[in-house]
Structure 1
Amino acid sequence: MKRGIYITANDKVIDTAIACLNSIRLHDPDTPICLIPYDDNYQIVAARLQQDYGVELYPDLDFIERLSQNLHDIFGTGFFARPNQFRKQACWFGPFERFLYIDTDVVVFSPIVNTLDALDQFDFLCYDYQHNGGIENVFTPKVLTEGIFTENELLDIFNGGFWASKRGLIQESDLYETFRECAAHPDYFDFSQKTSDQPIINYLILKRISRRFNLVRQAGGGPGNWAGTRHFQYDGMKLIDPSVGKPLDYLHWAGFRIAPGCPYWDIWAHYRYLRTPEERPLEPATAGTQAPFLLRQFKRSFSKLRRG
Structure 2
Amino acid sequence: MTDGIYTLANDRVYNQLVAILNSIEVNVGKQMPVCVIAYDDNLEKVRAEVAKRENVSLLEDPELFASWEDLSARVWKAHPTAFNIWQEKGIEGVYRIGMNRRYYAFDKEAPFEKFAYFDADVLVLNSLEQIFKALDKNDFVVYDFQYKDPSHIYNIKSSKLLEVFPQSRLESEIFCAGFYAGRRGIFTPEKLDVVVSSLEAGEAEILYMSAPNQSVLNYMIMRSHIPVYNLALELPKSQSTGCAVSSNHFELRDNVLYDRGNQLTYLHYIGVSSKLFNRICDGENLDCPYRDIFLHYRYLHEPENKPKFTGKPIPYNPPPSLGTRVLRKLGLSS
Q: TM-score range by the shorter chain?
A: 0.7 to 0.9
Matched residue, 1:274: 300
Specify which of 215, 222, 245 is matched with residue 227 of structure 1.
245
Match of 1:262 in 2: 288
Question: Which runs of 5 or more residues in structure 2 are unaligned?
Answer: 78-82, 87-92, 278-285, 321-334
Q: Which residue of 1 aligns with 2:328?
A: none
Matched-pair contact (CA < 8 Å) for 1:124–1:209: no
Of the candidates 101, 105, 113, which is equivalent to residue 87 of structure 1?
101
What is residue 306 of structure 1 aligned with on the other side? none
Distance 1:249 1:71, change over 3 A: same
Residues 159 and 39 of structure 1: CA distance in aligned 2, closer, same or farther (over 3 Å): same
Deviates more, 1:32-41 or 1:212-221: 212-221
Provide structure 1 residue ranges, at least 5 long, that are not aligned to the other structure.
295-308
* Aligned residues with identical type, % of pairs: 29
SS at match of 1:287: coil
Contact 1:144–1:150 (8 Å) recurs in 2: no
Q: Does 1:20 align with 2:20?
A: yes
Q: Distance in 2 between matches of 1:209 and 1:273?
A: 42
Give the equivalent residue in structure 1 for 2:58: 57
Give the residue type in structure 1 aligned to 2:293. Answer: I
| 1:205 match | 221
1:286 Cα offset (Å): 3.2
Which residue identity lines up with residue 103 of structure 1 in the other structure?
D
Contact residue 144 and residue 232 of structure 2 kept, 8 A: yes
Distance 1:2 1:208 in 2: 24
**8 Å Cα contact 1:71-1:176 kept in structure 2:** no
* AA of the residue aligned to 1:147: E
Aligned to 2:282: none
Equivalenced residue count is: 289
Question: Which one has the largest radius of gyration?
Answer: 2
* Mapped contact 1:182–1:200 kept (Cα < 8 A): no
> 1:1-308 maps to which residues of 2 (within 5 A)?
1-27=1-27, 28-52=29-53, 54-58=55-59, 61-76=62-77, 78=86, 80-93=94-107, 94-112=110-128, 114-133=130-149, 135-141=150-156, 142=158, 146-155=162-171, 156-172=173-189, 174-175=191-192, 177-182=194-199, 184-191=202-209, 194-221=210-237, 222-242=240-260, 245-257=261-273, 258-259=276-277, 260-283=286-309, 285-287=311-313, 291-292=317-318
Following TM superposition, by how much is the alpha carbon of 1:50 offset from its aligned partner in structure 2, in angstroms? 3.1
- Contact 2:287–2:313, Cα closer than 8 Å, also in 1: yes
State the Cα deviation string for residues 74-130 of structure 1 (Å, max 9, x = none).
425546431221110001111111111110100011123541110122111011111
Counterpart-to-counterpart distance in 2, 1:145 and 1:167: 28
CA contact (8 A) 2:155 2:161 kept: no
* Alpha-carbon distance in 1 for matches of 2:130, 2:24: 12
Q: CA deviation at 1:246?
A: 1.1
Distance 1:70 1:212, change over 3 A: closer
Tell me whether 13-22 or 37-46 shows the greater mean CA deviation: 37-46
Q: 1:174 to 1:30 in 2, by over 3 A?
A: same
Q: Secondary structure at the match of 1:16?
A: helix
Which amino acid in the other structure matches residue 204 of structure 1? M
Deviations 1:219-278 (CA, angstroms, capped at 9, x unpaired): 323100000111212223221112xx3111110001112443111111111110011100
**Cα gap change, 1:272 to 1:151, in 2 (>3 Å):** same
Return the TM-score normalized by structure 1.
0.85
8 Å contact from structure 2 (residues 241, 262) kept in 1: yes
Cα distance change, pair 57–284 in 1 and its aligned pair in 2 (3 A): same
Range moving further from structure 2, 180-189 or 34-43: 180-189
For residues 237 and 177 of structure 1, do their structure 2 counterparts lie closer, same or farther at Cα, with a shift above 3 Å needed?
same
Distance 2:191 2:259 in 1: 38
Pairwise CA RMSD of aligned residues?
2.5
CA distance in 2, matches of 1:179, 1:234: 45
Query: Contact (CA 8 Å) 1:5, 1:113: kept in 2 or not?
Result: no
Q: CA deviation at 1:53?
A: 5.1
Q: Secondary structure at the match of 2:167?
A: coil
TM-score under structure 2 normalisation?
0.79
